[in-house]
Amino acid sequence: MSHLKKNIPFMTNPELIGLAKNRFLDEEDQVAIAKFHYRRAHNYLIENMNLKAAARDVLWDYRGYARKCELITYGHFLEEQDKYHELYDGYGTQMRNRSPWRVPRVFLHHYRWHSHGVSTRTDNTGTPPEIIEDIYLKDVQRHRASGVGETYSGYYYAGPTSTERMIIENYNTPLELIVKISASSPDDRNRNLAMKTMARRS
């Protein structure tokens, strides 16, 4: 039985952060930190490669989409497709209006900076194919049709060409969509990348 969890409310912020970063913290203590309303400690828990399912679920149940986005990004729900739909279907429009950079970073390409010093990147995001198809429609096709170009591409907004490239590279993108991009993209690099991807996956 943990002797730490009862002292969580009395710990300083640095003490909580230190515990949240610890890969060997037991489940009870992770849950206690997840239930305690200190957001930075939550962030470090999410970055912890050994986040336990019980603590993960407490963090998911907080209101809003920020923690949910981070939990998806750090691969804590790779096998649970319903969570992707809960996040995307429930908050996709809100994310596009408030923080459009989240859509590609959460669903198409993951950069992970773990609290114990390891960083990873992957195109294997676990995103269901139908969500990727919807992102292509709303963040590539519609933006191009409305004249939104790469002028707005940057740290907080990927732009249609960058988003399209991430779609091509994603493991779960349907081959039919990649074929479509290879024939219709106005960007030469993306068309070539799509054709190479088709050859590799065929």
Each residue of 100-127: pLDDT tens digit? 989 999 999 987 766 656 677 777 899 9
Candidates 112, 106, 144; CA nearest to 125 is 106
User: Residues 13-37: what's their mean pLDDT?
Assistant: 96
User: Residues 87-106: what's their mean pLDDT?
Assistant: 95
Q: Check residue 138 and report its DSSP letter.
A: I
pLDDT for position 173 = 97
Confidence of residue 146 (pLDDT cuts 50, 70, 90): confident
* Region at 172 (left for phi over 0; alpha for psi -120 to 50; beta for the rest): alpha
User: Residues 145-164: what's their mean pLDDT?
Assistant: 73
CA angle 2, 25, 117 (to 5 degrees): 165
Backbone torsions φ then ψ of 113, nearest 5 degrees: -115, 105
Enter the tokens of residue 59: 């963090």
Candidates 95, 91, 81, 193; CA nearest to 126 is 81
For the whole model, what pTM was predicted? 0.90
